[in-house]
Structure 1
Amino acid sequence: MSSTSPLDRLESALSDSKGVYINDGIDKDTYLSSLTNDIREHMNDPFEISAEIAPPGFPDMEIGDTVSGLCVAHRGGYWLVYQPEKDIFYCFWGSDSEHLEAPGIFGSPLYCWSA
C-alpha cells in the first residue's frame, strides 16, 4: 500500500480522462475542466464508506456483495470512492450513506464523476 494520501492520489488522477464520454459539439477541454473543478469543489476529508454491488456489477465481484473504500468527494447522490488496496476509484450512488449501491462504475475519477 502506498503512503500517498487518498486526496493526493485523487489530485494526481484528475489528469486521466480515459473512458469519459464527450458528446459531439462539446469542447473536450472545457468539459474535462468542468468535471475536474466540480470534483475539487466537492472533495472532503476521506472517510470509510461501503455499498452493495448492484447490476451490472464489477468483473471481479458478485452482485449483492459489499465493496468499501474511502469517500474522497460527494455531491448529492454521487459518492466518489477510492480503494487504496486496488488503487481504483468507484462511483457509489444513493442519498443515504448507510444504504448505497455500487453499480459497476470504476476507473478514473473523471470517468466515475461523469457517469
Structure 2
Amino acid sequence: MAGEGDICASYSADRIGGEQPVRRPFSFEGQLWVCIGSDGRDRRAFQLVDPATFHDPTFTYGGRVRDGHEGRRDPNGYGMLVTHRRATMVLRGPETRFVRGTERLGALFHL
C-alpha cells in the first residue's frame, strides 16, 4: 500500500487558520502529512515534522497574517508551526499534490 490513513480526513486548513491542533495526519512513504486543500481530483498536503529536525526559520499562521493574508500567499509553507497531539510540530514545504486515481496513490483516498 502506498500510504495509510485518510487524506481527506486529515484536512486541517480550517484548524490551522484558527490555530487549533491539526487533525490526524496520514502516512506516506514513512512520513506524516496533513492535507490543506483540494482541487477536484487532487489533494494538497504538507509534511508534518518534529521541530528538532527542521533547521530553517519557523512562524505561526497568526504571525504570518498580521499584515493582511500574507500566510496564504506563501507558496511553500516552509516552517509553519502547528500543534498535533499537544506537541508543537512543523509543516514543511513545498506543498505536495496527491492525485486520486493514480496507481501509486489511489488507495490513499476514501471519498
Which has the larger helix fraction?
A: 1
- With normalisation by structure 1, the TM-score equals 0.30
